[in-house]
Copies of this chain bind each other. A is one copy, B any other.
């Protein structure tokens, strides 16, 4: 179900960073299984079966089901952080950087909505060490957006009474695209990105 959607976005091959090919196929199978049935209802046997492999072959690449979830979550969070830090570091006014951040973050959540749902909804299933690692990545993601908004306030471009609350709301709005986005729906990922960039500039009262 999700594999076709995930690829439809274009850009780069999803999970292209995972090698060898068998490890990549198992990861894609795990994303689909977790999205469809939930982490706890999925067995490593289910995942191996979806990938057309034996359970023994799975254990060559991943010791546990939690290791698969951690790998998915880590790659997803690394990508989210890279998108937002690139936007924060980009040239231009704070409004241009914030609009760019929202457009690319929304596009990622729309195009990769199956992965994003697993990444967002199964955080509690990670073991304590892995969870702490992911929480640290999320803090840095948050800091990238806060930096853009803070720059805009400092430059007199934005009027924002509560920078940390507004940062939280901006990220939340973009993340929730993964919940409602439907590839068969009436809006493309780019259209949602453009709509949301405009709404977020309004949230910070960006000067026109």
Contact = CB atoms under 8 A, between A and B. Distances in A.
Interface of A: 37-41, 120-121, 161-162, 165-166, 168-169, 172-173, 175-177, 179-180, 187, 192, 195-196, 198-199, 202-205
Nearest to A117: B121
19 contacts: A37-B41, A38-B39, A39-B41, A41-B41, A121-B179, A161-B198, A162-B195, A165-B187, A166-B199, A169-B173, A172-B173, A173-B173, A173-B176, A175-B176, A176-B176, A199-B203, A202-B202, A202-B205, A203-B203
Given A38-B40, A173-B176, A202-B202, 16 more contacts: A37-B38, A37-B40, A39-B41, A120-B179, A121-B121, A161-B198, A165-B187, A165-B195, A166-B199, A168-B180, A169-B173, A169-B195, A172-B179, A175-B176, A176-B176, A199-B203
Contacts of A192: 165
A130 B89 CA distance: 48
Given A39-B38, A203-B203, A172 B176 contact: yes
**Which of A121, A168, A169 has the most chain B CB atoms inside 10 A of its CB?**
A169
A130 to B, nearest CB: 18
A191 to B, nearest CB: 8
B38 A169 contact: no
Nearest to A166: B199
> Helix, strand, loop or mixed for chain A's interface?
helix
A172 B180 contact: yes
Contacts of A38: 37-41
A164 B161 CA distance: 27
Nearest to A171: B180
Nearest to A159: B202
A171 to B, nearest CB: 9
Contacts of A199: 166, 169, 203
Contacts of A195: 162, 165-166, 169
Contacts of A37: 38, 40-41
